[in-house]
Amino acid sequence: MSIRDRLSGNEAIATAMRQINPDVFAMFPITPSTEIPQYFAQYVADGKVDTEFICVESEHSAMSACLGAEAAGGRAVTATSSAGLSYMNEVLYVAGSLRLPVVLAVSCRALTGPININHDYSDSLAERDSGFIQLYAENNQEVYDNYLMAHRIAEHPDVRLPLMVCEDGFITSHAIENIEIEDDTAVKSFVGEYKPENYLLKEENPLAVGPYGVSGYYMEARVAQAHAMINAKRVIKEVAADFEKTFGRHYDLIEEYHMDDAEIAMVIMGSSAGTAKACVDELRGQGIKAGLIKVRVIRPFPAEEIAASLSGCKAVAIMDKSEGFSACGGPLFAECAGACINMDARPKMIDIVYGLGGRDFTVAAAKSVYERLGEIARTGQTGPVYVHMGQREV
C-alpha cells in the first residue's frame, strides 16, 4: 500500500536505494547529489541496509569500485553531478562496454566554466554516447519511480547495460514535494534479486572481465552492445507496464500532452515540462491547438515514437537545456531532427537553447515559443533555426 510522504528528489532516490538494499554503494560527494549518499549513510548507520558503503577519493574511483562489485556479481550504485560525472567519463564507457548494469543517480548540473552549481543537462547529455541508458524525471514522484524501475531494466538479460537516473539539480533534487512511497516488501518483490549469469566469483565458469579487444573482436562487441541498447526500448516499456500493474502509475518512453490534434508543439525534458504544460493548458483554453512531448528516455532514443507523435504538426520547437556547441543546435535538436528526417511530411523545426546554468524558464517564456510556432505555421517561414532564449542582450 502506498504511503504519502514529503520528500526531496535526493531523499526519494536514497529511499528507493534503501528499499532495494544494494550490495555496494561507492560514494564521493559533489553538489547537488551529495545528499543521496548522506541519507544512505544514515541508513547504513541505523542498520536499515547491509550495503557495503565505500568512501573513495574521487568520482572516477566511485564508478571503478562499482564496476568491480558488478563484475564480482553484486548490485552496485553511486551518485554524482556535473564535473563529477565528467571525471567518471573513462569508466562510464568501460561500464557500458563490459555490460555491467551499475545504476547511477545523477542530479544534473551545469558544467564549468564559468563555475556554476545550478541546473542544466550539459553534464548528462555530454555522456549520451557512453553506453548508459538514461531516464529523466519531471518531478520527485517520477524520480522515485524511475529508480524503482532502473535495476530491472539494466539487469535484464537482453540488456545488461548501466543506467543513469537523472533528476534536475536543486529543482527536483532539493525541492520537497508530496509523493507516494511504496511498501518496502512490494518494492523488493517488484525489483527482485540480482542473479547475473556470469561473474568473477562464479567458480563453475571462470572468466576474465575487461580483456584487450583486438581488431578481430572489437567491432562484434560494440555491435552486441548496440543491439542491447535497441533491446532496452522494449524492456523499458515492459517494466513500465508491470510497474503500472503493480503500483498504478503509467510511464512510457515519451509522454504526449494534448498531441492528438496539435498543430504546434514543443519537445522538452525534465521539470521544465511542468511549466510548459501549464502554458499548453492556457493556450488550449484560447482555442490554440498546442501540444507537448516530454522526453523521458534519451538513451535509447525514442526516434520512432517522437516522429509518429509529431506527424500531424505544422511547427515544432525542440527545447535544449544544454548547449552542444555545434553551431547549428543542441543535442536534443540533433536527435529529434534525425528522427524526423524520413517522414513523408515533416513539420518545420526550430531549436531553442534555454535555461543554461539555472536561468529561469517561465510560463510566459513558453508562451513566447508557442507564439513563434504559430507564426511559422501560418507563414511556413522558420526564420533562424538555432537561437538562445532568456539571455541578456549583448
CATH number at residue 159: 3.40.50.970
Output the pLDDT for position 117: 97
**Greatest extent of the chain over all pairs of C-alpha atoms, in Å:** 69
Cα within 13 Å of Cα(201), Cβ side: 9
Output the pLDDT for position 222: 96
Give the range of the structural domain holding residue 73, as residue numbers without chain letter. Answer: 3-247
Instruction: Report the C-alpha gap between 187 and 228 in whole angstroms.
Output: 26
Domain membership of residue 394 (yes or no) is: no
Q: What region does 380 belong to: left with phi over 0, alpha with psi -120 to 50, or beta?
A: left
pTM (2 d.p.): 0.97
Domain membership of residue 360 (yes or no) is: yes
Give the per-residue SS3 of 30-76: CCCCCHHHHHHHHHHHCCCCCCEEEECCCHHHHHHHHHHHHHCCCCE
Residue bearing cell 503500483: 247
CATH number, domain at 348? 3.40.50.920
Tell me whether strands 297-299 and 290-295 are parallel, antiparallel or unpaired.
unpaired
What are the tens digits of pLDDT across the range 124-174?
Answer: 999 999 999 999 999 999 999 999 999 999 999 999 999 999 999 999 999
Percent of the chain topping pLDDT 90: 95
Residue finishing a domain among 227, 247, 267: 247
Statement to judge: residues 228 and 282 lie in one domain:
no
Instruction: Report the C-alpha gap between 273 and 238 in whole angstroms.
Output: 24
The pLDDT confidence band at residue 184, using thresholds 50, 70 and 90, is: very high
Output the pLDDT for position 178: 97
Statement to judge: residues 142 and 217 lie in one domain:
yes
What are the tens digits of pLDDT across the range 87-104?
Answer: 999 999 999 999 999 999
Specify the number of domains making up the chain.
Answer: 2
Average pLDDT over the chain reads: 97
Statement to judge: residues 183 and 273 lie in one domain:
no
How is the chain split among helix, strand and coil, in percent rounded to 5?
40, 20, 40
Domain membership of residue 42 (yes or no) is: yes
Cis peptide before 22 (omega within 30 of 0): no
Instruction: Report the C-alpha gap between 36 and 20 in whole angstroms.
Output: 14
The pLDDT confidence band at residue 210, using thresholds 50, 70 and 90, is: confident
Instruction: Report the C-alpha gap between 62 and 68 in whole angstroms.
Output: 10
Statement to judge: residues 60 and 183 lie in one domain:
yes
Statement to judge: residues 222 and 288 lie in one domain:
no
Domain membership of residue 45 (yes or no) is: yes
Distances (CA, A) of 158 to 98, 165, 221: 14, 20, 14
Statement to judge: residues 232 and 262 lie in one domain:
no
Q: Please give the helix or strand (H or E) that residue 207 lies within, else none.
A: none
Q: DSSP state, 356? A: G
230 pLDDT higher than 90: yes
What are the tens digits of pLDDT across the range 33-66?
Answer: 999 999 999 999 999 999 999 999 999 999 999 9
Instruction: Report the C-alpha gap between 79 and 362 in whole angstroms.
Output: 29
Output the pLDDT for position 394: 62
Contact 71, 199 (CB under 8 A): yes
Statement to judge: residues 93 and 214 lie in one domain:
yes
Domain membership of residue 93 (yes or no) is: yes
The pLDDT confidence band at residue 113, using thresholds 50, 70 and 90, is: confident
Statement to judge: residues 143 and 39 lie in one domain:
yes
Residue bearing cell 551518485: 79
Domain membership of residue 118 (yes or no) is: yes
Domain membership of residue 115 (yes or no) is: yes
Backbone angles phi, psi at 362, to 5 degrees: -115, 170
114 pLDDT higher than 80: yes
Instruction: Report the C-alpha gap between 27 and 252 in whole angstroms.
Output: 30
Contact 323, 82 (CB under 8 A): no
Question: Comparing C-alpha atoms, which of 309, 20, 292 is closest to residue 150?
Answer: 20
Query: What is the mean predicted confidence (pLDDT) over 177-183?
Result: 98
CA 66 vs. chain centroid, Å, equals 19
Amino acid identity for residue 312 in this structure: G
Statement to judge: residues 130 and 25 lie in one domain:
yes
Instruction: Report the C-alpha gap between 183 and 208 in whole angstroms.
Output: 39
Residue 118 burial (CB count, 10 A): 18
Output the pLDDT for position 70: 97
Query: Quick one: CA dihedral 65, 66, 69, 71, positive or negative?
Result: negative
Statement to judge: residues 237 and 260 lie in one domain:
no
Statement to judge: residues 236 and 266 lie in one domain:
no
Residue finishing a domain among 191, 222, 247: 247
Residue finishing a domain among 215, 247, 279: 247
Domain membership of residue 305 (yes or no) is: yes
Statement to judge: residues 239 and 213 lie in one domain:
yes
Contact 65, 102 (CB under 8 A): no
